[in-house]
Amino acid sequence: MNSTKSSVSLMFACTASGKMLPPYVVYKAKHLYDSWTEGGPSNTRYNRTDSGWFDSTTFEDWFFKVILPYARSKEGKKIIIGDNLASHVSLAVKSACEDHNISFVLLPPNSTHLTQPLDVSVFGPMKTQWQSLLSEFKATALGRKCAALTKTEFPRQLAKLMEKLQKNQAKIIESGFRKCGI
């Protein structure tokens, strides 16, 4: 809600049956502090990069700590759908997918607004709720003191967002898969 150069990236993963897996947060920072991970949604993973963007290391960590444990709990063939970002191409991830009966499908470039279920139905309502939460936070005494949402406050606001989305989450996720023909 301001023009700071701070950056936080989030990775979300959902199943076609409407389940949202734990979020994965990447801060723009040299170090990751415990206070930046407290009060967030259950099982959320936190990391950091110099840019605040996902790189191949954080992508692999996300895959091995969030996706693979979930996939191992399911029998049969699994499919992961991802965008065509270069950091999503990893030999370690490819090998793990082969070992665990997972196909990793990369969507064609510039097509996620039509072919990626989260882009189609989940992120719009999520962004609306996030803007509302940020406005509410800025109206508090702490929010008026802060030029931007601090990394210490971020997990708590993310937890509020995930709680607000919980009510219709499964229906919204399922509709994204349906609209994409998946």
The full set of domains in the chain, from first to last, is: 8-179 (3.30.420)
pTM, entire model: 0.91
Give the model confidence (pLDDT) of 66-91 as tens digits. Answer: 999 999 999 999 999 988 777 778 89
DSSP3 helix / strand / coil % (the chain, rounded to 5): 45, 15, 40
Would you state the structure tokens that stand for residue 96, as one six-digit string?
């793990």
Give the model confidence (pLDDT) of 84-124 as tens digits. Answer: 777 778 899 999 999 999 999 988 888 888 999 999 999 99
Q: What is the DSSP track for 9-45?
A: EEE--B-TTSPBPPPEEEEESSS--GGGSTT-STT-E
